[in-house]
Amino acid sequence: MKPSEFVKTYFPYAKKLQYDLGVSAIATLAQAALESGWGEHAIGFNFFGIKDSDGVNGNEQLIITTEYLKSYTAKFPIVISKVWNPTKKFYKYVVKDYFRKYDTPYQSFADHAHFFFVNKRYFQALEYKTDPYRFIDEIAKAGYATDPSYSKLLKQVAKMIENEIIKQKL
């Protein structure tokens, strides 16, 4: 999906949640775009890469993902590959792991917003929920993703989203 189409389609969900919970629609939509490849990889309407903690109650799906970890002994349901990066001092894992699945895109957006309120590690980020760029820094610091470039990449996407919102007068 083109960025313009993605923003037009999914901005209303992010905007509603901004109104209801105060989390920046720009930050939310940027995460949805980055995590799902602009909607192309939102398997089971999981736009945010939110994992399923147990993999047993029927609301999960086993999906290939890449993780960047310092541990050589990280546990996943299936490890496809594990490569040490001596420059950055982490292992790049390609694995199959359990992720949540949803019946609708809105369920995914709503679960994502609530995710920050029920996980204590994001309480600091919520202090900046109306500032998309500071919020992005804080969720990255709290470990939302294992990619060491997550904050930088997400801010680039947020800027694209912001420009598209202005362009489309949303």
Q: SS3 of 165, please?
A: helix
Nearest C-alpha neighbor of 147 from the set 67, 73, 78, 82: 67
Q: Do 92 and 82 touch, CB atoms closer than 8 A? A: yes
Q: Quote the tokens at residue 5.
A: 């189409």
Query: Which residues are known catalytic residues?
Result: 67, 111
Would you list the DSSP string of 5-54? Answer: HHHHHHHHHHHHHHHHH---HHHHHHHHHHHHTTTTT-GGG--S-PBPSS
CA distance 115 to 103: 17
Nearest C-alpha neighbor of 35 from the set 157, 168, 165: 157
Q: Do 27 and 162 touch, CB atoms closer than 8 A? A: no
